[in-house]
Amino acid sequence: SDVCSSDLKRPELKDGKYKVVVSEASDYVKERMQEMVERAEAIRNKEVDSSQDNFLKLTNEARLLSVDPRILDETLDNDPDTKLNACARGVAEIYHDTEEQHSTQLIFCDKGTPKADGRFNFYQALRQEMVRLGVEEKEIAFIHDANTDTKRAELLEKVRNGIVRVLLGSTEKMGTGLNVQDKLIALHNLDAPWRPAD
C-alpha cells in the first residue's frame, strides 16, 4: 500500500522548531535593493524593454544578493555578516561540537553553484570560509562532483560513515532520495526553494 508523506517518521527538531538565522543587510546591499526597487518601477511602468530588464532577472539578482553580494560584484570585500558567512559559522560550530560522533551536515544551495570559468560562487566561498574556521577540507564535498552513479554511491557512503561530514548540493541534486541520515545532525537551507515542486 502507498505510504502518505504525513505517515513518515521525521526526526525531532532541536527545541521543537526550525532555527531561522537572520543576517543584517550591509549598506551596499541596501543601496542595491533600492536600485532594484527603482528597476521594478521602471519594469512595471514599461519604461524598459523586457529583453533588457524584467522581473525574473530582478528576482534572481535579489536572491543572489541576499546570500552574498560578491556573486554580483567580485571586487567587494568579504563581509562577515552575509548569509553565506553566517551559514559557514553555524556549520563550523556544529562540526566542532560533534567531532567525537563524526556527525554530518547537509547544505542546500540552489544558486551560485560552481562554474568551470573560475568566477565567484557560493560553494567555493562556503568551503573556503568553513576551512578558515577549522573544518577539514577533505571532509567537505559537493554533490555536483559525483558525476557518475558510482561516484555518487561512493560519496553517499562516505557521508553515511561520517568520512565526509559536510555535503553541499542543490535541491535538484539532493532534494529527493538522498539516503544519508545515519549521522545527520543538521540541515541548512542557504537559499530556500520557493517553487512548490521543490
Runs of H (alpha helix) within 18-148: 27-44, 55-67, 83-97, 122-132
In which band, very low, low, confident or very high, does the pLDDT at 118 lie, cut at 50, 70 and 90?
Answer: confident
Predicted local distance difference test score (pLDDT) of residue 9: 65
Q: What is the mean pLDDT of the chain?
A: 91
Whether the predicted pLDDT of 97 surpasses 60: yes
Number of helical H runs and strand E runs in the chain: 6, 4
What number is the average pLDDT over the span 34-57? Answer: 96
Residue 152 parent element (H or E): helix 149-160
In which band, very low, low, confident or very high, does the pLDDT at 155 lie, cut at 50, 70 and 90?
Answer: very high
Predicted local distance difference test score (pLDDT) of residue 8: 60
What are the cell numbers at 117? 570559468
Q: What are the tens digits of pLDDT across the range 123-149?
A: 999 999 999 999 999 999 999 999 999
DSSP symbol at 169: E
Top mean pLDDT of 11-25, 84-98, 101-115 is at 84-98
Across 51-65, 130-144, 158-172, 180-194, least confident range: 180-194
Are the C-beta atoms of residues 67 and 191 closer than 8 Å to each other? yes
Work out whether the CA dihedral 106, 107, 113, 116 comes out positive or negative: negative
CA 67 to each of CA 9, 60, 61, 85, 95: distance values in angstroms, whole numbers, following the listed order: 32, 11, 10, 9, 21
How much of the chain exceeds pLDDT 70, in percent? 94
DSSP conformation letters of 77-90: ---TTSHHHHHHHH
Q: What are the tens digits of pLDDT across the range 159-179?
A: 999 999 999 999 889 988 788
Question: Closest Cα partner for 166 from 187, 191, 189?
Answer: 187
